[in-house]
Structure 1
């Protein structure tokens, strides 16, 4: 699969983060828009498969097709830039600032949201024949997902908020591992295999992904889900974004940076770790 060694893909991660900081506004928005749209379509596809087969594992197995597609096309997800861009700041790359990082995050958020909303409207039209009938079975399923993952958390108060946050942390631990997976190989097949595995884990486990949720919850509202935009923002999107930042940056970016890029000295290089000389002492002459 033309494997790239960890020190090499660690450097590629930092280089990628640096390039995103200096990307033009137009390019950043277009790439983020397309990423949000493709991932939303993949989520709609996975839910359709789950409803049609009655087996959520099959839906989870097929969902990563969207993730692989968007990264092979060079588009950007918010969860990915949460991990990559801070590494360029941590590495003190010239011209990379906190302001530049936040600019990138803000633009990618706007692009992802616009792309996901576009697909949410399109799919709502399909599921209701242009809003002329009640949602079909798939549309009803999306509405129920929105209720369970907003009001369902709210029902448990602070414990629900903690659960939501941890699910978001775990999500971007896996998703950002998928982002790094695209850098682990120089072949298309190798990139796909490395990306597919962690994305499958996140989707099947029901972790909270801020961009997938940009599709699920607005479309759920459009399809008659019994929750509000405020429920969506407070009891899902905002805590999910915060958890995604922590998960991607802490468990993926910082870990790879600290052990594969800023590697500590080997114990063999320390004088106290060297074995004592085995040369025997001289025997005094008689």
Structure 2
């Protein structure tokens, strides 16, 4: 596969962040909706495989198919824009400011959540034949996950909240590595391989991904999980999203930016910026 040097793909990261900030409200919402929906389908697919085969590892191996699909289609996840858009601000790209970045994050959050929630209702309908029967083993498994990852954390108070936060950090460290990994190659096969490895790792290790959780927990509640919407928000979604932001930006975005973009020769950055202006998706 064709390989790009770090100074080249980090410039692509900055370009991608700039393009996200300037994207229209309509396009941002549509791309985020589709990303949330596809990742939700991938999550239920991986859980179905794990339940039916008894192998969590096999589910983790197959889960990245959803991430690869949404990235190659140019759709956007909250975890990706958390990492990319601040880099455009740090690089002083014209017109990129904090309010615009926050606007982008808010729109992507809404779109991701709408897409994930839509799939949650669709899959609940499918598993129950229109809510006429029990959801079966898969619904029971997801309900158990929902309870364990809300009430299970709440049982430990502040330590539980910090545990979710750190799991969120570790998650987006890996997920953002997948986003960046896809930029190191100009071939589809190379992009897929680079994305597959870190996404598989995060899923198997049970790290917390804010967009995956936008599907899992509403689906668990619909299927009878014994926890509330407030439990989900306070004891999972909020600390997970914050952890995703800190982990992806600190461990991936800022480390690559500070050691490759800021230290690259000025003429190389100017050349790369002029030749890599095409939009890039954010996982």
TM-score by length of 2: 0.93
1:230 corresponding residue in structure 2: 230
- Flag the structure with more relative contact order, 1 or 2, with Cα contacts below 8 A and sequence separation at least 6: 2
Q: How far 1:159 moved relative to its partner?
A: 1.0
Structure-1 separation of matches of 2:222 and 2:260: 46
1:109 corresponding residue in structure 2: 109
2:92 corresponding residue in structure 1: 92
Structure-2 separation of matches of 1:63 and 1:4: 26
Q: How far 1:11 moved relative to its partner?
A: 0.1
Question: 2:7–2:264: 8 Å Cα contact kept in structure 1?
Answer: no
1:173-211 C-alpha deviation (Å, 9 max, x unpaired): 000000101101000000000000000000000000000
How large is the Cα RMSD of the aligned pairs? 0.9
TM-score by length of 1: 0.92
1:283 corresponding residue in structure 2: none
Q: How far 1:262 moved relative to its partner?
A: 1.0
Question: 2:17–2:87: 8 Å Cα contact kept in structure 1?
Answer: yes
Structure-1 separation of matches of 2:110 and 2:102: 12
Q: How far 1:264 moved relative to its partner?
A: 8.0
Q: How far 1:134 moved relative to its partner?
A: 1.3
2:33 corresponding residue in structure 1: 33
Structure-2 separation of matches of 1:201 and 1:262: 30
Structure-1 separation of matches of 2:183 and 2:217: 31
Question: 2:178–2:194: 8 Å Cα contact kept in structure 1?
Answer: yes
2:65 corresponding residue in structure 1: 65
Trace 1:1-286 onto structure 2 (pairs within 5 A). 1-263=1-263
Larger Rg: 1
Aligned length: 265
Structure-2 separation of matches of 1:128 and 1:143: 14
Structure-1 separation of matches of 2:109 and 2:171: 17
Structure 1 segments, 4+ long, off by >3 Å, are none
Q: How far 1:127 moved relative to its partner?
A: 1.4
1:154-183 C-alpha deviation (Å, 9 max, x unpaired): 011111111111000000000000010110
Structure-1 separation of matches of 2:20 and 2:47: 32
Gaps of 5+ in 1: 266-286
